[in-house]
Amino acid sequence: SKTKDSVTLSWSSGRYQVRVWHFPFRLEVLCDQEVIVTFNSKDKLWFESLQNKPSYLSTLFLFFPGPSSLGADFCLHGFQHVYGLPQHADRLRLRDTSDGEPYRLYNLDVFAADLYCRLGLYGSVPLIVGHKPDRTVGVFWLNASDTFINIQYSPSDPQGGETPPVKKRRLRPQTDVHWLSESGVIDCMILLGPAPQQLFKQYAQLTGYQAMPPLFSLGYHQCRWNYNDEADVKAVDAGFDRHKIPYDVIWLDIEHTDGKRYFTWDPALFPKPAALQQHLEKKKRKMIVISDPHIKVDPDWPLYREARDGGHFVKDREGQIFQGTCWPGESSYLDFSCPETRAWYSRCYSFDKYKGSTPSLFVWNDMNEPSVFNGPEQTMPKDAVHHGGWEHRELHNLYGFYQHMATADGLTSRSGGSERPFVLTRSFFAGSQRLGAIWTGDNVATWEYLKISLPMVLTLNLTGIAFCGADVGGFVKDPDPELLVRWYQAGALLPFFRGHSANDTKRREPWLFGEEVTAAIRTAIHANMALWIIFTGIRFIICANLHKNVKHSLSCRPLWVEFPEEESAFTEDNQYMIGEALLACPVTEQGAQTVKVLLPGSDEIWYDISSAKAYKGGKSLSLPVNLDTFASILVFRRGTFLPVLLLNVQASADGELYLDDGHSFEYRDKKAFSLRRFSMASGRLLCRSASEEGRFDCDNVVQSVSIMGVKSKPTTVNVHVPGEDDPEMSTFNSYRKKFECFKGRFVSFTAHRIIIHDETKQITMSKPNKVPLF
């Protein structure tokens, strides 16, 4: 419709509308005639024309197009809680910036960053998510230049000045968000939700879904700057075996190279790298090495000459190859914004070019903000020039994203496109979830850094980056035994689980602190394997790949995502949900003897993981903890499935389990996966196919089924395998030999829990894909 002052566009049978006002210019988004978001509500829409050349920190930048800043403001009506804008070492709910500095998105190498600071760190995602009990909205500001964001909350306080109280009116709360970017164009998207999961799916449709990782990467990673040589690596590997601690990957930092020349090996320290990788691969373990974006200036090094002669380096403002200082000394920086450079760099990972590499070697991209030790703010000057004449200021926050892309492509290409890559990156941008994993950067071994790691990871999840974690134990300084154990316990509940430490710290392999500490860490790592590899670490990723109509799921999600009407959860930093089934509350206080756990949902039932005791939701409780009781900080939600069935008040539950080969793209290209749905109702447990497409055979077996929430001990437990007398299953009779009843079973009943254990271990998990187990 059109009036003298405005134009209105409608969709969804008129439920949603966009109203554009001519003067002053406004753009309103409405739902059911209620304004949700207003663009330019404060008249801060701005785009800059040419002005005098600016200087910053005594550095004169000669931008040849001239200054080109731009900005705009958005009003989120009715919202008092907004989230997002990683990466900052700050709380989950974004703070009001009226009395201080704005949030900044500018990727920087910030060593041991100040906590609760709005300074930009290693990566940037320009997404804000607003939430209230009945709606979730988002604003995605697609700009990769230096960006500042001001946030102002306006509470719903009574207004009216000197008028009598009866005349006062209560203003509707709102949040005003003002974006200001150094350059680029105004390119923004409003996400309407209205449910949290719908908003996350909308954002994923714009920027991509989390990449399916190889299975090994969901396990525990052991890293240090640096393991000294091949003997040191083998000794650490043997130590894990000797102390019966599982792990999947060992990492090598910059010292493994020949003089900080990436794609090389120190000939004295690592003379037989391929043999070392094969030694680990025999135990199904992998190796990961670092590869930074700076290239040592060395005309005698073939890789440097190839990059120089191929025009693959960033230029300075005079058109010469830009040089800065980093780990190798004088270095030049690859221009990953150029498609030809990315293709060349990807080829560097081929087995014939990267000598000493094998299929079990994977990659870690670090220092890719980019870090330039002698640059302004320890990064690249904004007037450096990239492919196509673009200045660095235009795409600074994309630099690490493009290296991550080229590396992932290289690892995929070396296998002919058949194997999934694993690449960890420090710097990131919107869409980095399509490429691999991310960690929170150089943290410190203090309780405060342990505590802040949780909202940092939750914020990454809210902005699409689900495969993430923090360095366990703290990268800088030395943790005491209690802090180290608590960090392992917290890290085990996150998707990316890596212990890491700097070169000037004491060695901290898990067995160096006494048997009590070793046992606690061993328990934490076992819990990580059970949680992420068996369930959530796979499931949160595959849903988007396999079900086009399924909600986009987060691996670790703030409580309000699962309980959107529970206002007490809106500011909760220390508790979160793992998928939809588990509530996690890591111990982050020194000397803690109890942990206070908020159990959301007044109609929910929660089960303590260790005792199977049931608790009613809608209240808080204190759980006792000591250094050994890691499991007591996990609580199951009723009505869910996680290799343990948790019955709700109707004595029912359901959930899914996914399996594939764990390393290839055959789940995508050949539908080689199995997705099983487990459900229980009326005392009957069923396992059936949840996908008509899956065609995956494996020898996984069900060894036990544990059912919590049983009110009384059953008199009998029957296991039924469909046979010829079952018409519904007649198509699958040829597979009957794959199943056997619990001939050697025993059934135990303790603490409202039934455990059915198959001593013969003959019940096949996924052969055939469509046959129920029970």
Tokens of residue 71, six digits: 């900005």
Tokens of residue 554, six digits: 């987060």
Return the top range by mean pLDDT from 167-171, 578-582, 731-735, 768-772.
Answer: 578-582
Q: What share of the chain is helix, strand, coil (3-state, %, to 5)?
A: 25, 25, 50
Cα dist. 298→292, 303, 353, 444, 616 in Å? 16, 9, 18, 35, 67
Q: pLDDT digit string (tens) for 484-494?
A: 999 999 999 99
Around Cβ 21, how many Cβ atoms within 10 Å? 16
pTM equals 0.90
Secondary structure of residue 482 in the 3-state scheme:
helix
Consecutive H or E run containing 403: helix 399-413
Beta bridge partners of 10: 17
Around Cβ 9, how many Cβ atoms within 10 Å? 11
The Cα 268–Cα 257 span in angstroms is: 10
Q: Cis check for the bond before 87: say yes or no (omega within 30 of 0).
A: yes
> What is the predicted pLDDT for the residue at 553?
64
Q: Which CATH superfamily is domain 6-194 in?
A: glycosyl hydrolase (family 31) (2.60.40.1760)
Lowest model confidence (mean pLDDT) among 23-37, 327-341, 682-696, 737-751: 737-751
pLDDT band at 540 (very low <50, low <70, confident <90, very high): very low
Lowest model confidence (mean pLDDT) among 115-124, 167-176, 322-331, 737-746: 737-746
By C-alpha distance, which of 626, 522, 484 is closest to 242? 522
Q: What percent of the chain has pLDDT over 70?
A: 81
> What is the predicted pLDDT for the residue at 620?
92
Decide if pLDDT at 105 tops 70: yes
By C-alpha distance, which of 685, 600, 562, 705 is closest to 644? 705
Which residues have CB under 8 Å from 643's CB, separation 6+? 530, 534, 535, 657, 706
The Cα 654–Cα 676 span in angstroms is: 11
Decide if pLDDT at 649 tops 90: no
Which DSSP symbol is given to 471? Answer: E
> Token match 């299953």: residue?
729
> What is the predicted pLDDT for the residue at 630?
63
Q: Are strands 249-252 and 286-290 parallel, antiparallel or unpaired?
A: parallel
Domain ranges of the chain: 6-194, 644-774
Q: Are 686 and 679 in contact, with CB atoms under 8 Å apart?
A: yes
6 phi and psi, to 5 degrees? -155, 165
> What is the predicted pLDDT for the residue at 527?
85
Q: Are 248 and 217 in contact, with CB atoms under 8 Å apart?
A: yes
Secondary structure of residue 653 in the 3-state scheme:
strand
> Token match 């221009």: residue?
335
> Out of 248, 292, 366, 608, which one is annotated catalytic?
366
> Out of 369, 562, 572, 608, which one is annotated catalytic?
369
- Is residue 580 annotated as a catalytic residue, yes or no? no
By C-alpha distance, which of 447, 450, 504, 508 is closest to 223? 508
Q: What percent of the chain has pLDDT over 90?
A: 67
- Is residue 442 annotated as a catalytic residue, yes or no? yes
The Cα 759–Cα 772 span in angstroms is: 20
Q: pLDDT digit string (tens) for 387-434?
A: 999 999 999 999 999 999 999 999 999 999 999 999 999 999 999 999
pLDDT band at 364 (very low <50, low <70, confident <90, very high): very high
> What is the predicted pLDDT for the residue at 498?
98
| The two domains 6-194 and 644-774 share their CATH topology (first three levels equal) | yes
Q: pLDDT digit string (tens) for 71-81?
A: 999 999 999 99
CATH architecture of 644-774: Sandwich (2.60)
Tally the C-alpha atoms within 13 A of residue 457's C-alpha that lie toward its C-beta.
Answer: 31
Q: Are 544 and 433 in contact, with CB atoms under 8 Å apart?
A: no
Q: pLDDT digit string (tens) for 232-267?
A: 999 999 999 999 999 999 999 999 999 999 999 999
> Token match 């993430």: residue?
468
The Cα 492–Cα 289 span in angstroms is: 22
Between 127 and 2, name the one with better pLDDT.
127
Between 710 and 752, name the one with better pLDDT.
710
The Cα 364–Cα 221 span in angstroms is: 12
Tokens of residue 726, six digits: 């079952």
Q: pLDDT digit string (tens) for 661-718?
A: 889 999 889 988 877 777 777 777 777 777 777 777 776 666 666 777 777 766 666 6
Q: Are strands 640-641 and 594-599 parallel, antiparallel or unpaired?
A: unpaired
The Cα 550–Cα 542 span in angstroms is: 10
> What is the predicted pLDDT for the residue at 647?
52
> What is the predicted pLDDT for the residue at 64?
60
Q: At what angle do helices 339-347 and 399-413 cross, to 10 degrees?
A: 40
> What is the predicted pLDDT for the residue at 689?
77
Tokens of residue 425, six digits: 């990156």
The Cα 1–Cα 11 span in angstroms is: 12
> Token match 């630099």: residue?
399
Q: Are 6 and 21 in contact, with CB atoms under 8 Å apart?
A: yes
Lowest model confidence (mean pLDDT) among 56-60, 193-197, 624-628, 662-666: 56-60
Question: Cα 571 to the chain's mean position, in Å?
Answer: 20
Q: pLDDT digit string (tens) for 2-21?
A: 998 999 999 988 899 999 99
Helical H runs in 191-334? 196-207, 230-242, 273-281, 302-309
> What is the predicted pLDDT for the residue at 676?
75
Please list, residue by residue across 195-204, b when 16 or more beta carbons sit within 10 angstroms of its beta carbon and e when fewer do: ebbebbbbbb
The Cα 535–Cα 150 span in angstroms is: 39
What phi-psi label fits residue 280: left (phi over 0), alpha (psi between -120 and 50 degrees) or beta? alpha
Contacts 24+ apart (CB under 8 A), 478-483: 478/445, 478/505, 478/506, 478/508, 479/445, 479/508, 481/513, 481/514, 481/517, 482/590, 482/591, 482/627, 483/445, 483/446, 483/447, 483/450, 483/590
Between 739 and 223, name the one with better pLDDT.
223
Consecutive H or E run containing 561: helix 559-562
Helical H runs in 441-558? 447-462, 481-491, 515-528, 536-546
> Out of 442, 566, 580, 660, which one is annotated catalytic?
442
Average pLDDT score, the chain:
86
